[in-house]
Every structure is written in structure tokens, then in C-alpha cells.
Amino acid sequence: MRERILYLPIVSPGTYHDVALANKRGLRTAFEAVADVFQWDYIASRKELFVPHFRTAIDAFQPTLIFTQFQGSDWITPTELHAIRQDFGVPIVNWNGDVWEHGLVTPDMLALLHEVDLQLVINASVLPIYEREGIRAAFWPFGVEMPNRPLPEVPSYDVVFLGNNYSEKRQQLYTVLRSLPYKVGIYGSGWAQSEGECNYDFTYAWALYENAKICISDNQFPDAEGYLSDRPWQAMAAGCLVFQQYVKHLLRWTHIAHHEYVEWHIPDELPSLIEEYLRIYDTPKVRAIRHSAKDHVLKFDTFDERVKQLFKMLQGVTHAS
């Protein structure tokens, strides 16, 4: 029997809602390859009506799996979710695609997660806490968002960084990148100067990465095991050479190997590293790094592969208990 998935993603609210809704399609497309899917942009609904509407959607669609992206109990309480489990008996998987521990291990979130069959995270540091709590959980990182239209014409850069300015660490990175004697492209909101914005426009970002020599990927959470934003996955898939800031136990939690990216720790390291790799960019060594990373990511880190992993993890889970 074909699966039926009720899918409740978090679509970015506010300014970027429409762009995110149009472009964050990787997981839904992967679900649609194996199931009938009903997607509900639940953040756009009214909180006080969420629970009755949730019940109505389950009753009408009759899903075999409910896949949510709850990051707290502000939309549904543990008691309400428990009642839904008892009434409908459908397996529930929750994916928190954020690194912030306040949405992962607060008392109210832990109580809510006792009412799901599987919690998926991109920050593996919290898994021991879930284990102690008796919550079934697993590491499940981002997949690659493929272009959804022909690639646009974009500028070519020696170094590109796609990200918004929302912290002092990001500002320090910006200062170093702007000091480089190369063609540097910085895309995002909040900067004193940027070349533009492409938040959630994965096709435009893909074109930028494909046309750039080096992509800078930062990590502002050095204590978060295995955590990567979607940035390195996208850049590697597009064939760009990725400079990834240190990630704790990256090799333990992902397929990415050390020889598939250039690691850095603090922004002051970047000028000499960038100079070194731009000097040897057109050599077999760098081509091997880029090609290996691209092949590896497109083989193991697409959303199609993530969905296969998910259903393997769900084997034996036939109903909410």
C-alpha cells in the first residue's frame, strides 16, 4: 500500500515566506516519490485553531505517517498530542532542523517529544539527553535542495559567502572577507554592503556556487556535534570548493570526509588559506577535492536518500503506542 504522509513543515514567516514556500521543496518532492502527500503550512494558521484543524486534516487525509516540524509546545501541548496519538494511532515523526538547544531539550519540548515516535535533529549533542529521557531520536541532517528552474546568469567570484548578518561572529567574518584582495561576493540581509540577497532561492544560490571558486561556510556553534547548515551541502553539490569552519565530530555524523573540504577555525586563518588554494585552484588536487565532495553529496545527501534513511528507521513502527 502506498504511504500517505501528512507533512507540516516550517515555512519561513514574514518577508521570505513566499520565496521559501516556492523553493524549499526538496523534502516534499522526496516524499512525493514514495507517498501521497498533503502539505500544511501550519505556521500560517491561527494558533487557537491549530489543534482542531490538525484533527480534521488527519481524519480527512487518513495518513499512514505524520511528519511535523514542531520546535516547541506553543502550537500543541503534550496533552493534546497524546490525545491525537490515542485517537488516530498514526506514527508521528518530528524533525527539528535548527541547532538551538532551547527548542530541543527544554522541559516542555521533552514532554512533547514523549508523544512522538521519532525525533530527528541536526544537532547530535542532544541525543544523549533524549536517550536518558527514553525518547527515540536520531541524527538527520539537511538534504540537498536541487534547482527548480534553469540556472540564472550570475557574477563569478573568487570567494562567496551566503548568509545574513545577525551576530558579532558574522560581522567579524564579514570584515575579514571584505579585506581580501580578491573578488568577493557576500549575499544576505543586514550587511553594510552586499551584492544582493537570495534567502531560500536555492537555484540562484546554486548558480553562485557553481560560478565561484571558494564558498565560505561558518559554524557559530562549535559545541554542537555534527551540525552543518544547508550551506555546505548546497555548495558541494554545485561543485564549489568549500571552506568549512570546524564542526565537532563531523566525520562521526556525516559522510563528508576531511579530504572533501578545507577546514578553518577562526576568521583570521582565512586570508592565508584562501591565498594558498586560489594559487593551486586549477590543479588536480583541488579538482579532486571538489569532484569528490560533489559526487559524495549527490550520492548520499539528497532528500531522496534522507527519506530512505527515515523509512529504515521507522521499520517496526506501525502505530503510535
In sequence order, the 6+-apart residues with CB closer than 8 A to the CB of 254 are: 141, 226, 228, 301
Domain match, 103 and 61 both: yes
In a domain, 189, yes or no: yes
Reduced to 3 states (helix: H, G, I; strand: E, B; else coil), residue 119 is strand
100 falls in which pLDDT band (50, 70, 90)? confident
Backbone dihedral region of 139: left (phi > 0), alpha (psi from -120 to 50 degrees) or beta?
Answer: beta
The residue length of the chain stands at 321
Q: How far apart are CA 289 and CA 295, in angstroms?
A: 10
Domain match, 116 and 234 both: no
* pLDDT tens readout for residues 255-293: 888 899 999 999 999 999 999 999 999 999 999 999 999
Average pLDDT, rounded, for the chain: 95
Domain match, 202 and 230 both: yes
Q: Give the chain's domain count.
A: 2
In sequence order, the 6+-apart residues with CB closer than 8 A to the CB of 184 are: 157, 158, 159, 160, 161, 177, 178
CA 92, chain centre distance (Å): 20
pTM of the model: 0.94
Domain match, 164 and 293 both: yes
In a domain, 320, yes or no: no
Domain match, 169 and 278 both: yes
Domain match, 290 and 166 both: yes
Q: Is the pLDDT of residue 319 over 80?
A: no
Domain match, 165 and 135 both: no
Alpha helices (H) along 164-224? 168-178, 202-211
* pLDDT tens readout for residues 241-264: 999 999 999 999 998 888 999 999
320 falls in which pLDDT band (50, 70, 90)? very low
Q: What CATH code is carried by the domain that includes residue 50?
A: 3.40.50.2000
Range of the domain at 59: 3-142+303-313
In a domain, 149, yes or no: no
Sheet containing 184-187: order of strands: 184-187, 159-162, 214-217, 241-245, 262-264
Question: Could you identify the residue written with the cell 512522538?
Answer: 116
Q: How far apart are CA 281 and CA 316, in angstroms?
A: 49
In a domain, 208, yes or no: yes
